[in-house]
Structure formats: C-alpha cells, structure tokens
Chains A and B, each alone.
Chain A
C-alpha cells in the first residue's frame, strides 16, 4: 500500500496528541507500519502545533511535507489556512469551525482573516463542523476533538467498529461514553 499522510493541526493545548494517538493506535492494530511526529515543549503553550501521522507497508520519514497530505484535521480555522498548502490537490480538509485569536490579533497588530472556510473551499475539498457547540450540547466541551475526529473518520478506510474499539482503549475509562457519543456526532453529521 502507498503510504497515507495525515496531519492534525491546531493551537497548543487543544488536545492534538490524544487524537494522533487514537489514529496511530488504530493503524497499528490493523498491522500497518506507523510513524507519528508530535510537538512538545514551548510551542505547546498556545502556539501553532502540527502532528503528522503516516501509515503504510513501510514508512520512512515521520513527517508530512508540503503538497503531500491526503487528509488534514484542523482544530481551528486559522490553523487550517496556515497549513492548507500541505494538502495534496485531491486532499480532504476537515475543519473545526472555531476561532482562537493569536497574539498579533489580540494586540491589534494583525487582523484575523475573514471567510476562511469559503476561501479554502474554493481550492480544496472541505468539510466543517462547529465541534465546540456540538460538544457543549453533549455536556463537555473538552470532547470536541472526538467530534472532529468522527467527521474525519468518514473519509478514512476503517470500519465504525474499529474506531469504537480503539477509542475505548485510548481515552480514560470514565470518559468512554461521552467520547463515543462525541465521535458519533461527528461521524453522523
């Protein structure tokens, strides 16, 4: 199998690491060679963060480079825009429709771009969801990343059962139910 490239982008603190570990666990359980590259340390403090997940028969480099991503999961609109040039021409972009102002916007030194989803949709296949609101409805805003993952899962070649199994094994036991409901919300949207 040709190696598949996935990127998860967002703002430090949004929980990209949990998402990549669920993805990595799923692919390994299916017998693929998997490499995941993460960001720890300073950039995690509210900075722009990106995680790469690659899987296939044999994976060499652990990063996804410009123009190579089959699927991008963006936890924030501006971050979707920042990394969109990493997508392949026929790549799919999943966006959590939420806005977190970076410091240059907070201080007034820069403007947050308008109509990001519309702009990106003109050049890419884009699916978006307001996962924060969906998660809030479920009673815990923290599970928004599972809502986004659920939406992304529809564009990957794994069965619903496989997803459910891996989520059960990767999230804290007390939160299994709400995380599965969050996943369902995205999956069925």
Chain B
C-alpha cells in the first residue's frame, strides 16, 4: 500500500511537482500560494528560488522548460497579472519539457486586494486550467499537469483557492519519476515571438485548444457521478465538496479540467438530469459556457459571485433549511500591526506630522486603519511610488508636500524599483519611504535579494537599497532607525520640505523575525502615570488602559520595542532587561 500522509493542499502541490520530476521552480511569495515553494525547496534534486516578482519567476520557469527540464512557477492570483506578459506569449510558443503555472485565487479575500478569477485568464491566454478539489487531487493534478503540458505542447495552469491550498487532507505518496531531459534544439519559428512566427503559432494554439476540448470528454478527471436525476450539479474545485456534503446522492458532473470545457460531456450530462445547477465560486465561468451551448441552467441567479461558498449556502437555497444562526453582536477583531512592529513607530511619526501616505501591499497596509489612519491608498505592488508621482504631475509640487510613498523592502524589490526609476527619470520632487524590515513580512518571512539569503537559506551578497537609490542619481537618500522617533521626525520634515526627489530608508527588522527579539520588555510604573493617553496613540496591543485610566503592559505580548517609553513624558514606562 502506498504511504499516506496528511498534507496542506499547497504541500501536496509541491509533492506532486517533485514526484513529476520538476527540476526548477520559481516564485514570489503571496498568500495563499507561498507554502508551495516553501515545501518544494525541502525536496532533494529540485532547484527552487524566490524571484523578485512573478514575471521574473515565470520567465525563469519558461527558460527551464525551453532548455528541456520540467519547471513550474507559483503565485497568488494578482501575481498572474504581473506574470501575464510572459504567459500570453509562452502560450503561443508552447513547451519543450512540461511547464506549470500554479495560481492561487482568494475568494473571500482572506489576504488580497481583489477576487479575480484565474479561469478567465486561462481562457483569454488559451492556456488549459486544472482545478483540484482536495489535497489528494492537488498532488495528482500537479503530476497530470506536466503530462498534459508535454502532450499538448502548452503551458498548463493549476488553479487553486485559499480554502484548498490552506486545507489539510490525506494524500497517497508516490516516488519521484524524473523523465529524461529533453534535448534543446534551436527553433526560431516556435520560440521567437515576433509577428511572422507568432501568426503561425496563433493558428496552432487555436487548433491545440480545439483538440484538447474534444479529448476532454474522455479525461478521467472530468467525470459524471450518476445519481438522483432530479437535480444535476456541474461543479469543480472546493465547491464540489460542498455539493457532496449536502447532496451525496445527486448527479454530479465533476470537472477537473475547467478550461477548455468538454462540450460533449456537458451536453450528455445536461440531458440526463431534470434540473441543472452550476455551482462554482467567483465568476459564472462554466455557467456562461453552458448557456452559450443553448443549455438551460441555473447558477449565479441562485448563488453569489462574491466570497466563498459553503454547504449551508446549498442547504438554505435549495432545501429551504434555516441555517441562520445569528452570531453575538460583539467588537470586531481586525488584523493589526504586531507588538514591537517598526511600522507602528513610522506611522506614529507620520500621523503626528499630518502626512498622507500613498500605500502599498504588505503588513504596512494596516497603517490605513485605526488608530494610525496614515495610509490613504493601496492598489497593487509598487503602486505607492508611481501613484504619488502621478499625483504630483496632476496637481503640482504643493499638493504632495504633505505626502510620502511608503513601501516595504520586499515590495520595493518586486516592482517598486521601476516606479522609483520613473520618479528619478521624470524629475519627481516626492519623498519615498522604504520601510526596510529585512523580510517579506505579511506572507510569513520570506527572503529576497536585499536580505542576502535565498529560499534554501544560502547566504549571498545582499543588494543594497541605499546603493540602488544612489545608482538612480537620487541625491538625498537617508537611512534612519525606525525606533529613533526624534531623528525620524526631523528627517521626514526635512525631506518632504525639499523640492527634490528624496528617499528615506527606515530600518528595523520585523519584530517576529527569528533572532531579532529586543532584549527588553516594558513595565508600567503606576504612581508616575498621569493618565494622559500618549502611549495609547500608536495602538500597541500590549498596552491596556485600566478602569481608572492608568496603564498596564501585557508582558506576554510586549516585544520590548520601547516606542511607548519614548512617548511617555512622565517616566511611567520603563524598559527592563529580560
């Protein structure tokens, strides 16, 4: 009997890739896809890297595939927007050895800025999309993806969701089977996408897609589970599990390949049931196709486009069951900056100076909410810098005098670097703050080119943020410790007043980073406390106001950063060594 193990969906994808003989993997961290690379790097004989962004990562994988070894790239859904440039063209080229794009959607927005549906990108780029429904399928479909990729000469997308990638289930393990490396041969007509060859390739892509749609009726991952014919569901991914939970005996067409869709199989299934319901999270992707075939069905008229699905949704909509247990009306608990987070110190100073921040993607997006309220905008990776530039060009120097751009070190290395290049080139007078906490924080501490460590832990020369800025001929580049609030305040005042482009690199490692703990904690001295509330302003969760208005420090939460000690004018807070 094969060995079994409980595995996170993302770990199962890594296992499947390893079993399929993947030799090269590249990625940029992004919830809910990060654990794929973190698991893959643990396997022998796989080269796995963090690349600066998803476009670079995709191109690394494309190169590896073209050279002749199986390769993959993984990312979150919005990462595919960054990597869509190579995706759309490698779709024309196809592959030498198998090539997988693993893309994780986030219905319900657990950790993202939108709810886009990757299946739509599969369709518009003419790349097939597989969608597993549990950890076992995550492993199997990953292996299958490489076979399909080579058989049909196409990159393949494996689409997952947060619920799939972050759920654990039982998987059967197999050994690694590395196919022989493919020889590399120069093939200009296939591998050089300029107008002439690309015209020819476009025809081949259309032909490929038609062939695959024909064959898909016989793929074992597209299967009819015949049952009660009063309702039939067409479903895929995690939504399939909800259908099985509530209607274990219903007829189901379970699709493993969600693009291109198998017309013959859908027609056959539709004609076998009295009522046809499409149960799919996010966009009406399958539904629109089924309707385009002239088949009557229900879908988004019953179920929402927004958020995650559930079994209770089926119970209430189709069985009229009362599943509305009302929760208690109690205070929310939104995510917050951790105790000891250097961003809290930075945002405290920005707020004090009444400065608006053009924000970016990372933990510091939390500077948008109470009690800091400093970040005004968040669009996508790198946008803080370029948007501030646009604001200046629209409304002039005066308008952005009390603005800065804030961006993390990892996000800066991802795409912020291009935006700063633009500012330097097009004569901006803005101030950019790079909040350098020496890691990719929000996704759980991944290294990048400026930390000096690779995915497998190898120490490499760190790229200097300071020198990058200097190389762009930016004259005013200042480095400040995030917890030196007096200096930080002075520097921000000076640089925002300057009618020239400037960069402030605010340094202090993430409070949760291994080995970065402050050797202190803070204690309150009640008799000195004047109950003024200064220490409460930055919103540190370790500081509590007691009934009488005085302060108490939760020493299980306190990380000893000492920001509150700096703010107290009465000596009522003291650091002590631990």
B454 within 8 A of A: no
**Which residues of the other chain, B, contact A42 by a CB distance below 8 angstroms?**
31, 110-111, 335, 442
Give the Cβ gap from B352 to chain A, nearest Cβ, in Å. Answer: 17
Among the 9-residue stretches A29-37, A145-153, A180-188, the one with 4 or more Cβ atoms under 8 Å from chain B is A29-37
Which residues B284-336 have CB closer than 8 A to chain A?
A: 310-312, 323-328, 330-336
Chain A CB within 10 Å — which of B110, B324, B326 has the most? B110
Report the interface size for chain B: residues with CB under 8 A from the other chain. Answer: 57
Cβ-defined contact, B541 with A103, below 8 A: yes
Cβ-defined contact, B333 with A81, below 8 A: no
Cβ-defined contact, A107 with B241, below 8 A: no
Once the chains are docked, how many angstroms separate the CA of A141 from the CA of B557?
A: 11
**Which residues of the other chain, B, contact A102 by a CB distance below 8 angstroms?**
331-334
Which residues A75-108 have CB closer than 8 A to chain B?
A: 78-79, 81-86, 100-108
B170 within 8 A of A: yes
A28 within 8 A of B: yes
Cβ-defined contact, B541 with A100, below 8 A: yes
Per-residue contact bits, chain A 30-69, to B (CB 8 Å; 1 contact, 0 not): 0001111111111111111000000000011111011100
Cβ-defined contact, B323 with A67, below 8 A: yes
Cβ-defined contact, A101 with B328, below 8 A: no
Once the chains are docked, how many angstroms separate the CA of A112 from the CA of B111?
A: 26
Once the chains are docked, how many angstroms separate the CA of A34 from the CA of B332?
A: 30
Once the chains are docked, how many angstroms separate the CA of A37 from the CA of B444?
A: 18
Cβ-defined contact, A62 with B333, below 8 A: no
B370 within 8 A of A: yes
Cβ-defined contact, A37 with B539, below 8 A: no
Once the chains are docked, how many angstroms separate the CA of A67 from the CA of B326?
A: 10
A110 within 8 A of B: yes
Once the chains are docked, how many angstroms separate the CA of A100 from the CA of B331?
A: 12
**Which residues of the other chain, B, contact A41 by a CB distance below 8 angstroms?**
31-32, 110-111, 442-444
Chain B CB within 10 Å — which of A11, A48, A63, A78 has the most? A63
Which residues B520-578 have CB closer than 8 A to chain A?
A: 536, 539, 541, 543-545, 554, 556-557
Which residues A95-146 have CB closer than 8 A to chain B?
A: 100-113, 132, 141
B371 within 8 A of A: yes
Give the Cβ gap from B288 to chain A, nearest Cβ, in Å. Answer: 26
Among A13, A33, A61, point to the contact of B311 (Cβ < 8 A).
A61
Once the chains are docked, how many angstroms separate the CA of A133 from the CA of B166?
A: 32
Cβ-defined contact, A104 with B331, below 8 A: yes
Cβ-defined contact, B168 with A34, below 8 A: yes
Give the Cβ gap from B376 to chain A, nearest Cβ, in Å. Answer: 19
**Which residues of the other chain, A, contact B244 by a CB distance below 8 angstroms?**
60-61
Among A11, A82, A106, A111, point to the contact of B327 (Cβ < 8 A).
A82
B338 within 8 A of A: yes
Once the chains are docked, how many angstroms separate the CA of A110 from the CA of B329?
A: 11
**Which residues of the other chain, B, contact A45 by a CB distance below 8 angstroms?**
335-338, 363, 366, 442
Give the Cβ gap from B106 to chain A, nearest Cβ, in Å. Answer: 9
Among A13, A46, A60, A107, point to the contact of B245 (Cβ < 8 A).
A60
Cβ-defined contact, B325 with A67, below 8 A: yes
Cβ-defined contact, A60 with B312, below 8 A: no
B279 within 8 A of A: no
Cβ-defined contact, B245 with A104, below 8 A: no
Among B5, B323, B336, point to the contact of A103 (Cβ < 8 A).
B336
Nearest to A80 among chain B residues (CB) is B328
Among A33, A40, A47, A109, point to the contact of B31 (Cβ < 8 A).
A40
Give the Cβ gap from A111 to chain B, nearest Cβ, in Å. Answer: 7
Give the Cβ gap from A44 to chain B, nearest Cβ, in Å. Answer: 8
Cβ-defined contact, A66 with B312, below 8 A: yes
Chain B CB within 10 Å — which of A24, A36, A45, A102 has the most? A45
Once the chains are docked, how many angstroms separate the CA of A132 from the CA of B366?
A: 28
Cβ-defined contact, B370 with A103, below 8 A: yes
29 A–B pairs (Cβ distance < 8 Å), ordered by A? A25-B6, A28-B170, A33-B170, A35-B169, A41-B31, A41-B32, A42-B111, A43-B111, A44-B444, A45-B336, A46-B336, A46-B338, A61-B238, A63-B163, A81-B330, A82-B327, A82-B330, A85-B325, A85-B328, A104-B332, A105-B331, A106-B371, A106-B536, A106-B544, A107-B370, A107-B536, A108-B545, A110-B331, A113-B330
5 A-B pairs besides A40-B110, A41-B111, A42-B110 with CB distance below 8 A are A34-B170, A85-B326, A103-B334, A103-B541, A109-B331
Q: Which residues of B contact A (CB under 8 A)?
A: 4-6, 8, 31-32, 34-35, 110-111, 134, 163, 166-170, 238, 241-242, 244-245, 310-312, 323-328, 330-338, 363, 366, 369-371, 442-444, 536, 539, 541, 543-545, 554, 556-557
